[in-house]
Structure formats: C-alpha cells, structure tokens
Structure 1
Amino acid sequence: MINFNGTITQEDNILTHNRAFLYGDGVFETVKITDNKVLFLEDHYFRLMSSMRIVRMEIPMFFTMEFFEEQILSLANEQGIAKGARARITVFRNNGGLYLPTTNNVSYLIQATRLDSPQYETFSNAYEVDLYKDFYVTKQLLSSIKSTNKIINITASIYASENALDNCLLLNDSKNVIEALQGNLFMVSGNRIVTPPVSEGCLNGVMRKQIIALLKKESHLEFAEEMISPFDLQKADELFVTNVIMGIRPITKYRKKEFVTTTARYLVQKLNESLA
C-alpha cells in the first residue's frame, strides 16, 4: 500500500514502480502532425534511437520507423486530430531495481493533442527573454538528448513566469548561452547567422537541423556554429528560437535591447515552401 496525498490506498504501479517517474529514466520525442503526416519523421526516429542507445536501453526489433509512424497516426486519427496535432512518444525502461535497473527492456507511451495552427506561422507579437542563471547545463552528450529529466527547464520556466518573461535563455557551465527553454537559439548579425554547436550542451534539435539546411542554401547568408556569450546578445541584430511545434519564434527584446524580426520571417516562408 501507499500514502497518496494523505490517503492510504493500494499501490499504483505508475507511481511506485515506473522508472521514468522514480528516476527520470526515460527519453522522448515530440512530433508535429500536419495533414495526416508526421513532419521530419526520419530525423525524429533516428534521434530517438540514438537517445535510447546513449542511455543503454534495449531497442526492440519491432521499433522501426514505420511502426512508430503507424502508432502515432493511428492515435491521432482515433482522436480525429490528424489534420493538425502534436504527439509525444515517451520510451522508458521497464520496472525493476533502484539506480541500477534489473532490465534494459522498455515500454512506450504516445499522447496526442490538437494544434490550432498546423502550418508554421509568422509571429508578430512581442517576445521578451532574459538569462536564467540559477542553474547551468553541463557540456556533455546527455544534454543533447530529450530525456524525462528536465528540472532545469522547469525551474527556469517558473522563473520566467514570475518575472513576466516569455522565455529564458540557458547557460552552460562555461557561462555561454546555448538555447532557450523550448528550443534552439539562433543569432543574426548583419548577414551572418550563428547557433551554438551541440558540443556546447544544447539540444540536438530536429528543427535546428532543418534551419541549418535552409541557411546553407541561402547564398546571401553566412552560417556558422559558434559559441555565443551573453555579451554577444547585446550586439546582435536579431535572435530567434526554433522547435518542431512552433517552427521559428523571433525574440523581440532582451533586457533593454530590442530586435528586428526580418530574417526569422524570411525563414518561416522558406520553411513552409520546403514543406509544400
């Protein structure tokens, strides 16, 4: 038996045995569904498989890309939201053990919710950010994957809410800026665009990969993966955040510095063209 919120009741395996709940022993992917299609399916699938290998999970033979596509879309269609939805696939190690698991076999869970705007849109409203300096992200391989241990993102989200911010920028243990709470960071100075390399501790984002590919096709833009210091932010012309669900979100204000959104708006157009 367990005591749950002051009530003594029978054990609930979800609470008392699930390793994702007890130890954060899980990895996940969040995908976007548009017109009954999982966008960037291959990139999501291979990142999920890579994450599972990194944390020593056993990958079942039936965990194919086609299997996950079928499972995701069948859930979205069952809910009647396959026109536009976000879906999350969580893979967690099966019950047993303390820090040392008794098995590396896994289970998975898929959830899906409707999206009001299945297409990528151009954001025009104000979006203010600041640095989050209470805790730092370490420069290591585990920081580049989507695990179920996101306590820094949670505490930083609370900080942003308490300070009337739309987002926060995270720092690594070298005090360099690496990403926003929900996506990768890009900085524009003139015709030059930079984003931190994954080795700095940022997420190896799927949308990050798509934007880099777009930038490399634009002859009038120069792209590089470089470290970004807090001082660099004050000198930038433009900042924007990317993830698969929202696409490209321009930042309009960081402290007293206000930014234009020209490049972000241009890249949204190019992104939608590439998906047409």
Structure 2
Amino acid sequence: MVNINGTLIQSEQANLSLENRGYKYGDALFETLKVVNGKILFWEDHYFRLMSSMRILRMTIPMTFTMEFLESEILKTVEENNLLAKSSRVRLNVDRGEGGKYKPNKDSNVGFNIIAEPHDNPFYGMLPFEDYTVDLYKDFMMAPGLLSGLKSNSKSISVLGSIYAEENGWDNCLVLNTNKSVIEALNGNLFLVKDDIIKTPPLEDGCLNGVMRKQILDALKNNPNYKVEEASISPFELQKADELFISNVIIVIQSIGKYRKKSYGNETAKDVLQLVNGKMRLS
C-alpha cells in the first residue's frame, strides 16, 4: 500500500499524472527515512530539512504539513504495510502538483506520497568494508550552491555515477564539484580520517545537507579524542588518509576499503558508530 495525499491505495493503482511537475521537471523533494518499531529515526531533523528545502524551492507549504501530521501519515503507511513492529525504509516525496511549464500555475497544489518497504537490519552495526571499493566520478561535476545541497528529485549525477561504478566493478563513486574538490559519495556524505582529525566537506562545497552527517558532527562536537574539520577535500588527500567512510540514515556508516591502490582501516569509523548509537539511546 502507498499513501497518496493521505489516501492509502494499492501500489499498482498509484498512477502518476503525466502533468505532475515532479515527473516533468524534477520539481520535487524527498526524504529517505528509517523507521524502527514505529519510531521514525531523527524525524525532527528530516522534517526541518524538508521545510527548509521547500522554502528554498519556493513551494507553498500547506498549513496541514505540520510535523505531527506528516509523522502520522508516515506511520499510517508503515502500519498498513505490516511493518510497524519491524524495520522499514520509507520515502516521503513532496511535489508541486500539476500545471504550468517551467513556471508553475498559481493554482498548483503541493502534494505528497509515501512508500514503505521492509529493511533487513533494524540496528546500526558496522558493515563489511575490506572489499568495498570506490573511485572518482569525473564525467560530471556538481556546482556548489544551495540547490546542490537539496535532496531533490534531480539526481542525474547519482544515477549516471551508479551506472559508471557498476560498469567498472566498483561499489560506489566519489563526486567532485566544479572546483575539483571531493564533496560526497553517490549515496551519502563523505568523512576522511587522518591521525586524530576527522574531516568532512562543508555544505558550501555543494555536498548534501545530510541528516546523518549532522548526527555524526553533533556526536563528535565535544569529544576530546578527535578534531573535527569542515573543510574542502582534494583528490590528493584521499590516498594519504587513514580511513574514508560514507554516511546516510539507512546504514549510518559504510567504511571504504579500497580507493585505487590504497587500502584503509575502520577503527575510527567503529568508534564514531558507537558514539552515534549512544546518542540515539539518549534521545
């Protein structure tokens, strides 16, 4: 079952209009959520990121789009799919409705849809990494700016980069911005570890304003064992690093095992994962 603007219907009956602006122009935003035993993890951060993104795209936010309303619609969808007592991956999609060309019609109505599917792992654990291999994706680059940091439906670089990675037998690729700095992976934010320094690209470089990125930075804020830097990362730094890891809300951390001829460890990543798990238990 899927949720279309509050109505639950069978997925095979969920027809999208050819005039839908999310389909025609990518005029849409989405949040990928992890729901465990009826709790949406980091829901407040997801909600405020969505509202901020809608304002940046100048979408009219319906009065009904309160945090409580959207939370109830998400959990309603999860329950209808018999996932309330399990772990699930949920996509909340918001679009500007129908009408207009590039310029939306004034009477276009913002709508939402929600899809829930089972997710095997309810817990955040360290994933196998020794053979997890990445390389740079250099065919297209991200232009830094507010739009590049949004979780919008315009994901051509992630799509093309994923195809490129598969063609070359890699698990993922790292994305560059137009200044030739490494900003993120295809499916999450990037962290680089060198000695006791944990470094991640700043939002100004064009990386996604990731919810799990925020949790990791918060967990490390007052930790005396590490120095955290939000600073640009050059491709040259990758091969000098002790560790590289990717973060998103579904997996939390995926350590990178290999980049070109370099192999990495994951001791710091394991420590960071424990800190995030501890932060979750306290919330």
Return 5+ residue gaps in structure 1 as ranges: 1-11
What corresponds to 2:92 in structure 1?
89
Instruction: Return the match for 2:154 from 125, 149, 158.
Output: 149
SS of residue paired to 1:171: strand
Hey, what's the Cα distance between the residues in 2 that align with 1:236 and 1:61? 48
Displacement of 1:143 after TM fit?
0.5
Identity, in percent, stands at 52
How far apart, in 2, do the equivalents of 1:219 and 1:269 lie?
A: 15
Give the secondary-structure state (helix, strand or coil) at the position aligned to 1:43. Answer: helix
In the TM superposition, residue 118 of structure 1 has moved relative to its aligned partner by 1.2
Alignment map for 1:100-179 (pairs within 5 Å): 100-103=103-106, 104-125=108-129, 126-179=131-184
Secondary structure in 1 matching 2:136: strand
Alignment partner of 2:239: what SS?
helix
Could you tell me whether the CA contact under 8 Å between 1:59 and 1:105 is conserved in 2? no
Q: CA deviation at 1:15?
A: 4.6
Q: Residues 1-276 of structure 1 correspond to what in structure 2 (within 5 A)?
A: 14-82=16-84, 83-103=86-106, 104-125=108-129, 126-276=131-281
SS of the residue aligned with 2:221?
helix
Cα distance, 1:171 vs structure 2: 0.1
* AA of the residue aligned to 1:35: N
Per the alignment, in what secondary structure is the counterpart of residue 270 of structure 2?
helix
Letter in 1 for 2:24: L
For 2:16 and 2:62, locate their aligned partners in 1 and report how far apart those are by CA, in whole Å.
Answer: 22
TM-score, structure 2 length as denominator? 0.91
Give the secondary structure class of the aligned counterpart of 2:174: strand
Q: Distance in 2 between matches of 1:55 and 1:117?
A: 34
CA deviation vs aligned residue, 1:141-199 (integer Å, no higher than 9, x gap): 00001000101100000000000000000000000000000000000000000100000
State the TM-score, normalizing by the size of structure 1.
0.94
* Distance in 1 of aligned mates of 2:136 and 2:149: 20
Per-residue CA deviation, residues 7-65 of structure 1 (Å, 9 max, x unaligned), is: xxxxx972521111111010111111012100111100000001111111000111011
Query: What is the alpha-carbon distance in structure 1 between the residues aligned to residue 53 and residue 221 of structure 2?
Result: 27
Q: What is the aligned length?
A: 265
Partner-residue secondary structure (3-state), 2:34: strand
Hey, what does 2:11 align to over in structure 1? Answer: none
Moved over 6 A (4+): none
Contact 2:98–2:109 (Cα < 8 Å) also in 1: no
Distance 1:47 1:187 in 2: 24
Structure 2 residue ranges without an equivalent (≥5)? 1-13
Counterpart AA for 1:226: A
